[in-house]
Chains A and B, each alone.
Chain A
Amino acid sequence: MSLQDEPALELSAAETAFLTDLFRVGVGDAEGDAAQEAFIQRVMRSVQARQRRALLFDTLPLLMGAALLMAAMLLPVFDTLPMLLAGSLSELPAFITSIEWDSGTLLPLAAVLLAALLPGLLDAVTRMLD
Chain B
Amino acid sequence: MNTLADQELVALARLGNLPAFETLVRRHQALVRNWLRRLGKDAGRADDLAQETFVQAWRQLGSYRGEGQFHSWLLRIAYSCFLQHMRKHRSEAALQERVARLAPAQDHTLPHDESPDAVRMLALLNVEERACMLLFYGHGYSHSEISELLSLPLGTVKSQLRRGILRIREHMRIEP
- Taking a contact as CB atoms under 8 Å apart, the answer to whether B58 and A50 are in contact is yes
Q: Given A14-B175, A44-B25, is A27 in contact with B31 using a C-beta cutoff of 8 Å?
A: yes
Please tell me which one of the listed residues B29, B111, B159 contacts residue A6 in the complex, with CB atoms under 8 A apart: B159
CA distance A12 to B137 in the complex (A): 14
Please, how many residues of chain B have a CB less than 8 angstroms from a CB on the other chain?
A: 47
Q: Given A3-B156, A40-B25, is A20 in contact with B33 using a C-beta cutoff of 8 Å?
A: no
Interface string of A1-26 (1 = CB under 8 A from B): 01110101111101110111011111
* Residues of chain A within 8 A of B156, CB atoms compared: 3-4
Interface size class of A (residues with CB under 8 A): 35 or more
Residue from the set A25, A28, A50 with the largest chain B CB neighbour count within 10 Å = A25
Least CB separation from B168: chain A residue: A19
Least CB separation from A54: chain B residue: B59
A–B pairs, 21, beta carbons within 8 Å: A3-B156, A9-B165, A14-B175, A15-B174, A15-B175, A15-B176, A19-B137, A22-B115, A22-B137, A24-B137, A25-B139, A26-B30, A27-B30, A29-B33, A31-B112, A36-B29, A42-B51, A44-B22, A44-B25, A47-B55, A47-B58
User: Chain A: residues with CB nearer than 8 A to chain B?
Assistant: 2-4, 6, 8-12, 14-16, 18-20, 22-31, 36, 39-40, 42-44, 46-48, 50-51
